[in-house]
Amino acid sequence: MHAEVTKVLFSEERIAARVKELGARITEDYRGVPLAVAGVLCGGSVFCADLIRRIDLPVALTFVRASSYGGGTAPQGRVKLDLLGADVAGRHVLVAEDIIDTGFTAAALKSELLARGALSVKLCCLLDKPSRRRADVSADYAGFTVPDVFVAGYGLDYDGMYRNLPYVGAVEIKED
């Protein structure tokens, strides 16, 4: 068995256009307030890098690391966070995530960033998979809504691979 990204769901051009739109909205919404963008490693790194260049404001950039463990079926979804010393006190924080799936990662990040003194925390994701939501969070800014299929590319991985694809595609498991 092997995995293949067989179908392009969101092309490079479509993603670029949408990221530009999100950046323009964020620019309007955060004008005049101290803003920190927190990219979520590893999956959100590509999206975050493109997004910040579409925000026409002074921005502090920081990265945080999040990983889930115990499998997606764990009751509260266990999320391991590493804030990597992010200095968010006194700033409005915008989290740049690849995808909000169950929402456990976003919920954990939100409460941890608020506990560290963020003035507000909003979520910006490239992809939103609301059909899988289990935690009580929703995206404040979302690029695209996706159905319940496993996707990879543009930062998102399947088994550690495909993050470098310039587009987002559907992962298919094939018999060898």
Which residues belong to the active site?
101
Interatomic CA distance for residues 114 and 119, integer angstroms: 7
| Site size with Mg ion, rule: CB under 5 A | 1
Task: Spell out, one character per residue from 106 to 145, where the chain touches Mg ion: x when CB under 5 A holds, - when not.
Answer: ----------------------------------------
All residues at 6 or more sequence positions from 161 whose CB lies less than 8 Å from its CB, including other chains: 3, 152
Closest approach of Cβ 7 to ligand IMP, in Å?
13
Interatomic CA distance for residues 150 and 101, integer angstroms: 10
In order, the DSSP letters of 55-82 are --S-EEEEEEEEEEES-TTSSS-EEEEE
Q: Which does 5 bind (CB under 5 to 8 A by kind): Mg ion, ligand IMP, none?
A: none
Residues near ligand IMP (CB under 6 A) are 43, 68, 77, 97-106, 150-152, 156-157
- If one asks whether residue 43 binds Mg ion (CB under 5 A), the answer comes out as yes
